[in-house]
Structure 1
Amino acid sequence: MTIRILPPPGAPRRLAAAQLSNSVGDGAYYVCSALYFTRVVGLSPAQIGLGLTVAWAVGSVAGVPLGALADRRGPRGTSALLALATAASVASFLVIRSFWPFLLAACVYATAQCGLAAARQALLAGLVPPAGRTGVLAHLQSMLNAGLALGAAIGGLALGADGAAAYRAVFVMDALSFLVCAAVLLRLPEVAPAPARTAGEPRLAVLRDRPYAVVTLLNAVLLLRMPLLSLAVPLWIVERTQAPGWLVSALFVLNTFAVMLFQVRMARPVTGLDSARAAVRGSGPVMLASCAVFALSALPGSWWAAGVLLVLGAALQVVGEMRQSAGSWQIGFALAPADRIGQYQGFFGTGVPVARTLGPLLLTSLLLLWGIPGWLLLGGVFVAASYAMGPAARWAAAARTAAVGGAVVGSA
């Protein structure tokens, strides 16, 4: 079996280089940011949590108009500007020493990150034919995980030093990584802006597209898997199982390297809307099985038995994650009008900050308070959302076809 992480030469490989450059910086930032903000900036954990919650809420709202800006002004230049804005916001953390400036910088950071994600999707759509987009996105996800793993290792060195200078070096590296990202993006071919809106056409049409909104909502539910491994499972291991604490790190490494090595292979069968719906539908039962195995790890027994169950649950979880990701990428692109990819991807991408904002509270309450029944209920939610995605996507596709037909008739 050949494992290929790099995408084909040309625009896809340069997009991957941009992804890798900023993900290395982000990996180090994610590992060190909490300790930097508490020990160097002097914020309390409550202030950090509140600031980041508000910031990602603002960012999720800003993603749609920034995506629309990428459509109107061209996604290459918009992406580069948003990468520069991200670099500036990270650099500003170096001089911040109180809550309100931190909140402002965090809002700029989250807004630029959400807008950058939408603009880069529009850029990818302009450079890669529809049949190849999911495959390229799978390569980008592999590069993202590779960069995060490398960055986390660098961040670990800063944690070992445990000094203000080491933490500041990580933030400088993250800011520089986004400067490199902007430079790489500017070397890509220009993508023509979308045609100007016609009279009477809404500025943000995606906000009136109810079928696409339902698809986005279901995707947000499926993305509750994101805080599952980063927060809920670690707390579950420590509070409800006999497994050793170091297994938390092992499961994270398992997930990271599995996505890095196998996401491209898992995405290969997804080439259209039908195969995308099948991939998402298939992810639901796998996630249910993963939740059931995680639940069993709390039963009385030896620590190694709990550890085996946790590793098996994490393996099932990452398989479900890769199937769901591949299907959702294709659905998000296929249901968006060709001239509004940026704003539609900005809206579709709100599922990520929503899952990051609401997921920790929902999952910790459900799993740590309800225990095994909570895990089974969560698995049922994943199954229901994955099976509902098929009819929702068909509804959205039918609505898109009807809208295109109406526009053709109206212009005749």
Structure 2
Amino acid sequence: MTSAPARVAHRLIPQSGPGRVLAASNLVFTLGSGMYLTAGVLYFTEVAHLPAGQVGLGLMVAGLISLALGIMVGHLADRHGARGVYASALLIQAAATAGFVVADDFWSFVAVVSAATGAKAAGVAARSPLIRQHGGDRPQQFRAYLRAVTNVGVSVGALLAGSAVQAGTATAYDLMVWATAALTAASAVFLAFLPPISPVRAAAGPRWIALHDRPYLLLTMLDGVMAIQFKVLTVAIPLWLVADTAAPRWLISATMLTGTLMVIAFQVRASRSVTSLPSGAAAYRRAGFAFLAACALISLTAGIPGWAAAALLITAVVVHTVGEVWHAAAGFEVSFVLAPEHATGQYLGVFGLGAGLAEAFGPGLLIWLCIEWGRPGWYVVGAMFALTGTAVQIAVRHAHDNALRHASRPAEPAPRPAR
């Protein structure tokens, strides 16, 4: 008789060999990502001795440069084979990351961080056709599984980076950078064990079909507004906790850990309940109101005793993370279902524009509204999420109608398989 843990593991582990290879590659990659996310900014300020303002400006420039790369590289993956394009993006990112150790002024920093950030965005788009091909009957659920794996890898990577931060020496930080580069390169090696995907030719119509799909672009923009929620836990809450509450500072780590563990535990389960465009639209709406509730709870933590502020903040993080897993599951569903198979990489590259814009402008918006304005700003941000989640339902309906109009345009097969 199979034990309960074994049954859970059976449901979570991909059934196909290629799916497991992709998951292993993703885990190795996110170990490095976890180190960089935790201590990357500190590396440039503490080792390269760049002012924090220059680091922030450089990261914004890198984020803006990477926006267009996702679309272009996604198109290349569709036309020339996703496996090779994705592996190339990973190797370029590894080389650019290793270049951090020689970035000792602003312009060299902008060059290497732009290359690394652009290659990462390109890799996300190039990976999309692989997920569709090897994700089984429900690639959306497989994508949810990969997100859970990502949180495992990032968590372990963050712990590894903590040792470098604790040591505080240039040598320790340099070793962290080399380890991040090596893990990124190693994740590309796993792709050699994947079977190649034959490229497909475009259907009749414009070359950049995703950029002409206005309903899909509208959905991308709305998802980008919702994606600002990812910066609530990493930017707004830490600054709010320190400046406006009596909660202990160690609670910053506790809030991050709470959110990460909830994503690991519940992302796949949430994805199982989002299996159609209507259910995806409904999940967006639920996520928006969950974010509104979380923002309201956070606003109440100012001016109360530390223990009460801590309890409210943890509660808010739990509510926010419930919204986060709904938002992610909804995004996986609608972005895959509305993307034609012959242009998966291009469409998912376009869909990534929303998250890229949120990455570039979300921190500044949250700081302005929630930190500088204070309590009223939290209500404005919460209302923004709730209204956006409701508006997605209309956008999904229009995008679905548009996809049906183009469903009669099948892609031509490639003249020869990928080598």
Match of 2:315 among 276, 289, 312: 312
Name 1:283's counterpart in structure 2: 287
Taking the aligned partners of 1:288 and 1:384, their CA distance within structure 2 comes to 10
Counterpart mapping for 1:327-338 below 5 A:
327-338=330-341
Write out per-residue CA displacement over residues 232-284 of structure 1, whole angstroms, 9 at most, x where no aligned residue. Answer: 01111111111111111100010111111211111111122222112112111
Name 2:180's counterpart in structure 1: 174
Taking the aligned partners of 1:351 and 1:387, their CA distance within structure 2 comes to 17
CA 1:196–1:223: 2 relative to 1, 3 Å: closer
Amino acid at match of 1:40: V
Q: Which moved more, 1:120-129 or 1:381-390?
A: 120-129
Q: For residue 202 of structure 1, report the CA deviation from its aligned partner.
A: 2.4
Q: Conserved in 2, the CA contact under 8 Å of 1:73 and 1:193?
A: yes
Q: For residue 8 of structure 1, report the CA deviation from its aligned partner.
A: 2.9
Name 1:381's counterpart in structure 2: 384
Q: For residue 351 of structure 1, report the CA deviation from its aligned partner.
A: 1.8
Does 1:98 find its partner at 2:105? yes
Unmatched segments (≥5 aa) in structure 1: none
Taking the aligned partners of 1:313 and 1:384, their CA distance within structure 2 comes to 19
Taking the aligned partners of 2:273 and 2:251, their CA distance within structure 1 comes to 33
Name 1:163's counterpart in structure 2: 169
CA 1:348–1:296: 2 relative to 1, 3 Å: same
Amino acid at match of 2:150: L
Name 1:274's counterpart in structure 2: 278
Match of 1:48 among 44, 52, 55: 55
Does 1:217 find its partner at 2:221? yes
Taking the aligned partners of 1:150 and 1:183, their CA distance within structure 2 comes to 21
Name 1:204's counterpart in structure 2: 208
Taking the aligned partners of 2:362 and 2:126, their CA distance within structure 1 comes to 25
Name the SS of the counterpart of 2:228 in structure 1: helix
Q: For residue 9 of structure 1, report the CA deviation from its aligned partner.
A: 4.1
Match of 1:34 among 23, 27, 41: 41
Write out per-residue CA displacement over residues 133-161 of structure 1, whole angstroms, 9 at most, x where no aligned residue. Answer: 12111110111000001000000011111
Does 1:297 find its partner at 2:301? yes
Name 2:325's counterpart in structure 1: 322
Q: Conserved in 1, the CA contact under 8 Å of 2:25 and 2:188?
A: yes
CA 1:9–1:404: 2 relative to 1, 3 Å: closer
Q: Which moved more, 1:169-178 or 1:3-12?
A: 3-12
Counterpart mapping for 1:218-233 below 5 A:
218-233=222-237
Taking the aligned partners of 1:71 and 1:260, their CA distance within structure 2 comes to 30
Q: For residue 39 of structure 1, report the CA deviation from its aligned partner.
A: 2.5
Match of 2:240 among 236, 241, 246: 236
CA RMSD of aligned residues (A): 1.5
Name the SS of the counterpart of 1:404 in structure 2: coil
Q: Conserved in 2, the CA contact under 8 Å of 1:65 and 1:204?
A: no
Q: Which moved more, 1:8-17 or 1:345-354?
A: 8-17
Match of 2:21 among 14, 27, 31: 14
Write out per-residue CA displacement over residues 197-231 of structure 1, whole angstroms, 9 at most, x where no aligned residue. Answer: 65xx3221111111000000010010011111101
Name the SS of the counterpart of 1:93 in structure 2: helix
Taking the aligned partners of 1:182 and 1:69, their CA distance within structure 2 comes to 17
Q: Conserved in 2, the CA contact under 8 Å of 1:16 and 1:140?
A: yes
Q: How many residues align?
A: 403
Q: Conserved in 1, the CA contact under 8 Å of 2:202 and 2:343?
A: no
Q: Which moved more, 1:175-184 or 1:33-42?
A: 33-42
Taking the aligned partners of 1:189 and 1:337, their CA distance within structure 2 comes to 22
Taking the aligned partners of 2:387 and 2:19, their CA distance within structure 1 comes to 34
Unmatched segments (≥5 aa) in structure 2: 411-419
Taking the aligned partners of 1:69 and 1:150, their CA distance within structure 2 comes to 33
Match of 1:246 among 250, 253, 256: 250
Match of 2:80 among 60, 67, 73: 73
The list of structure 1 runs, each at least 4 consecutive aligned residues, that deviate by more than 4 angstroms after superposition, is: 1-5
Match of 1:190 among 196, 204, 218: 196
Name 2:353's counterpart in structure 1: 350
Amino-acid identity (%): 36
Q: Conserved in 2, the CA contact under 8 Å of 1:32 and 1:159?
A: yes
Taking the aligned partners of 2:197 and 2:71, their CA distance within structure 1 comes to 19
Amino acid at match of 1:224: I
Amino acid at match of 2:214: R
Write out per-residue CA displacement over residues 294-313 of structure 1, whole angstroms, 9 at most, x where no aligned residue. Answer: 11111x32110111100000
Q: TM-score when scaled to structure 2?
A: 0.93
Write out per-residue CA displacement over residues 334-361 of structure 1, whole angstroms, 9 at most, x where no aligned residue. Answer: 1111100001101101122211110011
Q: Conserved in 2, the CA contact under 8 Å of 1:134 and 1:270?
A: no
Match of 1:148 among 139, 154, 169: 154
Q: Conserved in 1, the CA contact under 8 Å of 2:97 and 2:116?
A: yes
Write out per-residue CA displacement over residues 94-153 of structure 1, whole angstroms, 9 at most, x where no aligned residue. Answer: 222222121111111111000100111121112234x41121111101110000010000
Q: For residue 38 of structure 1, report the CA deviation from its aligned partner.
A: 1.9
Q: Conserved in 1, the CA contact under 8 Å of 2:245 and 2:304?
A: no
Taking the aligned partners of 2:165 and 2:85, their CA distance within structure 1 comes to 35
Taking the aligned partners of 1:42 and 1:238, their CA distance within structure 2 comes to 25
Q: TM-score when scaled to structure 1?
A: 0.95
Taking the aligned partners of 1:262 and 1:128, their CA distance within structure 2 comes to 19
